[in-house]
Amino acid sequence: MNKILYPSRIIKGNLGDVLINVLLIRELLNHSEVYLKGKPRAEVYDLIVQNNPDKNKLNIIDSNSKSLFLEKLKIFSNIAFKNKYRIVFDTPGHVTEKKKHLKTLLKAISDIVKADIYHLLNIKIYKFGITLGPFKNDSWFLYKKVCKKTDHVMLRDKRNYEQLKTRKLKNIHLGPDLAFLLYRHPQLNPIPETKIEKEGVVISLRGSLIGKKIEHNYFDTVVSNTISLVSQIVSEAQINVVKLSYQVDCDREPAMVLFDKLKIVFPSIELIFIDHILNFDQASELYRNSKFVITNRLHVFLFAMILNTKSYVVTDIVKHQKLIAIINDLELSSLVYSPELRYSFQDPSQMELFAKHADINARTLRESIKTIATL
């Protein structure tokens, strides 16, 4: 059985990142042993082992040291001398230019150095479920080298894939976002035994496209369009409960801003502000039991749709390329809000189309992961 290395330092306070990492790890455990490079946070570990028949194949390389240097030294020693690993996975997500350009360059250089070390140890490197770019020119130069030194880079939307093909990046492939592994997942998302009576709307918004602080040029328009969409839903779908939530910690402030505005615009609607970051079980219950979700976050949209709740996207369709590209790949641009459109909230065709894509994407991911894990 193959031994696969996986990073344990998954971003704190972002359920979407936790979800896609956990889903990938669980899928790898179906076919191989997985060794986490360091002790993961409790929320990550608990979700990996939750109802998991393969949890005994999960291993943790832990130095039990409070020193980060000693921990990394222990992990390196284990990788280099103690166990014969075949593959290392990098964490999925969006890799793009950081606000501080130097950080972008240092991250790329770090990836190049790590790739050289892994290859010296005869370990293959895989990056699954990522979006790459945009970057400044010198960053692109370095990330060309990163891709060249990575054995397999799976990009999660056609637009990004075509862009990188034009730039002649090596070892790139096209595949679905890892969130689709949740579709009909036997342990984490079993088919409900009884019909769920859905009610209300859930809104979960980010305040900017880059960074954690509210970007008012972007967010003010998102708020205005969200209010317009809520108005349509209230009048046409007989909704009288709106819940504001967040599954990323920096989204709390945008939720509070929107909550205050909704109180003024919709005084007769019951507004509920869920003032804590959602964990997996809380988000599952909330999205599954709602009639609609409104969001500008990719993994809120996919999470809710996979749980069979129709979700609408409110964002800047020009600037928010990652999200819009994936929605276009799913042929669901009709779920992206536009002030010129009126929406048929009871139309089942969008959910049927999503289910078709989700089924194909989930099977594609499982087959790809099985092929790699059993090489």
pTM comes to: 0.95
pLDDT tens-digit map of 7-42: 987 878 899 999 999 999 999 999 999 999 988 999
Return the CATH class of domain 3-186+360-373.
Answer: alpha beta
d(CA 147, CA 135): 14
Which pLDDT score is estimated for 63?
67
- Read off the tokens for 40: 């993961």
d(CA 103, CA 278): 29
- Read off the tokens for 81: 């001398």
pLDDT tens-digit map of 334-349: 999 998 888 889 899 9
| Exposure on the CB side of residue 141, measured as CA atoms within 13 A | 5
Which pLDDT score is estimated for 155?
98
Domain boundaries, the chain: 3-186+360-373, 201-356
Q: Are strands 93-95 and 152-155 parallel, antiparallel or unpaired?
A: unpaired
pLDDT tens-digit map of 177-208: 999 999 999 999 987 767 788 999 999 999 99
Q: Would you say residue 83 has pLDDT above 80?
A: no
d(CA 171, CA 142): 15
Would 3-186+360-373 and 201-356 be classified into the same CATH topology? yes
Tell me yes or no: is domain 201-356 CATH 3.30.310.
Answer: no
pLDDT tens-digit map of 196-254: 889 999 999 999 998 899 999 999 999 999 999 999 999 998 899 999 999 999 999 99
Tell me which residue has tokens 């039991």.
289
